[in-house]
A and B are shown apart, each in its own frame.
Chain A
Amino acid sequence: MNCETVQENLSLYLYGELNFHDEEQFDSHIAECAFCSAALDRERTWHAAALSKSSDVPMDLLSRCRRDLSRTLDALQPPKPSRWEQFLETLDIRPSHWSTQLAVASLLLCVGFYSARLLGRQSEATGGGFSSSNDMSLLSPGPSNPVRFIRQAEGGDPDRIEIGVDEVRPHRLLFRRDDPALERWAIATVAEADDPSLRLDSIELLSSRPCAAGKSALLAALRDANTAVRHRALSALEPCAPDQAVQDTVVQVLATDQCPRLRMEAIEFLAPPTGPVTVRRQFAGVLQGVVERESDGHVRLRCERVLQDIKASPVTY
C-alpha cells in the first residue's frame, strides 16, 4: 500500500471498515512511514473532536416525544374486548340473543362445576402444584412474562428441580396526584431506572412535592451519570436550599462536578443573586479551593463574593 492509498483510507481504517488484508497492509505502512503516521494522528484528532459533538439527546425532548407517542398509540388501540367476550371468541361462539347467552352461560357453569370437582379429586391424588413441564411453560420467559433471573434452585430429586424466580411484569397504575404511593414509585425510579428520561420524569414528579418528600433521592440524583438529571435534581431541591444536608451536597457539586453549567447553578443555588447568602462559614475551605481551580470566571467571581460575605479570605495562604 502506498502513501496515496493510505491517505485515502485513513477514515475507513479508523471506522474499522477495511477488510483484513487491507488493514494489515495499512498497519505495516503506518509503522514505517512517519508522514502517514502523522496524518493518521491528525485524522484521529478531528474524529475525536467531531465525536465530542455527539451528545445525549435533551431528556425533556425525549420525554415529550415518548408521551406524545404513547398518547397517539393509546388513541389507535381498538377497545379491548371483555374477558367474557375473549373467552367466547376462543370457543368461536358469537351469541347475539339473550336466550343464547343464557344457555351458553348455564352450559359453561355446569362444565366449570364438574371440572372443578374432577380436578379436585386429581389434585388430592397427586399432591397438587405444578407437576409437568407443560404447566411450567406458563412461566416461560418472554416479553409478556419477562422472568429476569433465578433466585434459588433446590432439588434432591434427580428428575426434578424447583426454582424460585424474580420476574418483572409491566403494569399500569392510576394514582391521584397527591397519593403518597406515587412518591414512593418516583423515588424508586430516580434511584434505579436505567433510562435517564424516566429518572428525569420522576424527578419532575418529586419537584412538585413538599421539600422533605424525595430529598434523599434528589440528593443522590446530584451524583447521577446524566448531566440533565443532575441539573433537574438541583432545580428540584431549590425549596430545600436552607437544609444543611442539601447544602453539604451542593457544595460538593460545586467543587467536583465536571459540568461548568452545573457548577454555575450550584453557586447560584448557594448564593442567589438576590436574597441572603445561606452558605455557612465551614464551607470556606471548599470555596477557596474552587476559587483556585475554577476555570469559569463567573463561578470564580461568585465564590469570591460569597467568601467576602461570610468574611473569609478568597485565597489560602
Chain B
Amino acid sequence: MNTRAETIRSTDAVGRAAERADESALIRAAQQGNQEAFEQLVRNYDQSVLRLALNLLRSPEDARDIYQEAFLRVYKNLHTFRFDCSFNTWLYRIVSNLCLDQLRKRKVRKEESPSVSTREGEMDRFEFIAEERAGVDPQRSLMSAELQSKISEVLSSLTNRERLVFEMRHYQGMRLRAIGESLGTTEEAAKNCLFRATQKMRTALGAYA
C-alpha cells in the first residue's frame, strides 16, 4: 500500500515539477513585459483568488475589488519577485493581506453582506449552492439545507484568521507550510489556527454528522 502511495506521490511530484518549470518560464516572460504571459499567469490563478475573496468577504463587489487590487499589485511588483518562494505563496500573501484589511475595515464600518447577485436577484450565496446540490430525497435535501446553513453560521463565527486559514486549507487545498508563508507566520501557527477552526466546526456540526 505504501509502495502505491509512494508511486502516486512520485508521479505527482514529477507533474508538479513540470508545472513549476512552465510557470517559471511564464513568470520570467511576464517580468520582461510580455503581456500575454502575464494574462496567462492571471488566468492560472484568478478563479482561486476570486473564490477565496468571495468566500471570505461574501460580497461580489468586494471580491471584485480584491481581484483587481491583487493582480494590479502583482503586475506592478512582479519585477521584484525573485523566486525565493513559490508564486502561489507570493500571490496568496498579497490576496490574504488585502482580504484581512478589508475585513478589518468592515469591522470598523460594521457592514456585512452575506448575499450575492444572481440572475434571480439577491440570494445568499451558500443557499444558492445548497439548492443546486440538494439530493433527490426531500428529507435529505432538508437535512442538507440545514447542515449548509449551520456551516455558514459556524464559518461566520470564526475569527478572520481562522476563517482565512480554513478557507486556504479546506477549499484551496494549500499545505499548512504554504499557508504559514502566505500569512507571514510559521507552519505551527497556521496549524494551531486550523486546529481551532476545525474544533469549532466539529463542536457545532456534531449533531448533523
Contacts and interface: CB of A to CB of B under 8 A. Distances in A.
Contact of B137 (A12, A17, A69, A295): A295
B209 A72 contact: no
A227 B132 contact: yes
A296 to B, nearest CB: 9
Interface in B22-54: 25-26, 29-30, 34-40, 42-43, 46-47, 50-51, 54
B203 to A, nearest CB: 10
A68 B34 contact: no
Contacts of B171: 51, 54
A159 B54 CA distance: 57
B131 interface: yes
Nearest to B138: A295
Contacts of B100: none
A47 B170 CA distance: 8
A41 B202 CA distance: 12
Interface stretch (A57-65, A111-119, A237-245): A57-65
Given A69-B67, A73-B35, A170-B36, 8 more contacts: A11-B194, A12-B191, A17-B176, A42-B209, A49-B147, A144-B36, A227-B132, A293-B136
Interface residues of B, number: 62
Chain B interface helix/strand/loop/mixed: helix
Contact of A143 (B25, B43, B54, B194): B25
Contacts of A10: 198, 202
A10 B136 CA distance: 30
Contacts of A142: 25, 29
B176 A260 contact: no
A248 interface: no
A133 B75 CA distance: 35
A260 B43 contact: no
Interface residues of A, number: 46
Sorted nearest first, the 7 A-B pairs with minimum C-beta distance are: A143-B29, A11-B198, A143-B37, A42-B209, A45-B209, A170-B36, A46-B205
A35 B72 CA distance: 51
A83 interface: no
Contacts of A92: none
A231 B171 CA distance: 25
B106 interface: no
B103 interface: no
A46 B35 contact: no
B68 A143 contact: no
Contacts of B198: 10-11
A195 interface: yes
Given A42-B209, A73-B35, A295 B136 contact: yes
Contacts of B137: 295
A46 B148 contact: no
Contacts of B50: 57, 61-62, 65
A237 B129 CA distance: 24
Of residues A45, A47, A55, A65, which shows the largest number of chain B Cβ atoms within 10 Å of its Cβ? A65
A55 B25 contact: no
B98 interface: no
Given A144-B29, A295-B141, A57 B54 contact: yes
Contact of B43 (A55, A58, A195): A195
9 contacts: A10-B198, A43-B202, A45-B208, A49-B209, A62-B46, A143-B40, A170-B36, A170-B39, A295-B138
Interface in A166-196: 170, 195
A66 B46 contact: yes
B193 interface: no
A226 to B, nearest CB: 11
Contacts of B37: 143-144
A46 B198 CA distance: 10
A94 interface: no
Contact of A55 (B29, B129, B205): B129
A65 B201 contact: no
Given A49-B205, A50-B201, A143-B36, A61 B134 contact: no
A259 B126 contact: no
A21 interface: no
A311 interface: no
Given A46-B205, A69-B72, A295-B141, A52 B46 contact: no
B175 interface: yes
Interface string A254-276: 00000111000000000000000
